[in-house]
Amino acid sequence: MLAVNERRSDLVCAAGLLVVPRALAFFSSHGVPVEIHDVDRELRHVEGLDRVSGQAQTPTFEYGDFIVSDFSVDEFLDELQERPDIQMRLGITDDSHIA
């Protein structure tokens, strides 16, 4: 679980993507709060994607300097394995990967 003073997690997405409900269910099941930014409703988020990740693919998860773009839950977990510091802060442990 995130400590009160931790950064928030942002998920930039297009609402119609099938991966979005799966990603949201995954984050919710692990107690990872995310602020959702829907590019279909606010186009300015597309520009923000390009600025932080160099592309405009969704979904994009941003937590400080940890950015994962255009991912499935399995791909997110693969990226998370490369950042044990973020994994610990998000509270997603090796035994909690099952969504």
| Distances, alpha carbon 54 to alpha carbons 18, 51, 88, 89, in Å | 23, 6, 26, 25
| Count of C-beta atoms within a 10 Å radius of residue 46 | 16
98 belongs to a structural domain: no
What's the rounded Cα separation, in Å, for the pair 79 and 67?
A: 9
State residue 14 phi and psi, 5-degree precision. Answer: -105, 125
23 belongs to a structural domain: yes
3 belongs to a structural domain: no
What's the rounded Cα separation, in Å, for the pair 25 and 48?
A: 24
**Residue-wise pLDDT tens for the chain (99 aa)?**
334 335 678 887 776 776 788 899 999 999 999 988 777 676 666 666 656 666 666 788 989 889 998 899 999 999 999 999 999 999 987 655 544
62 belongs to a structural domain: yes
**pTM (2 d.p.):** 0.75
33 belongs to a structural domain: yes
- Give the range of the structural domain holding residue 25, as residue numbers without chain letter: 9-92
CB-based contacts of 43, cutoff 8 Å, min separation 6: none
At 56, which CATH number?
Answer: 3.40.30.10
- Cβ contact 66:47 at 8 Å: no
Please give the tally of structural domains in the chain: 1
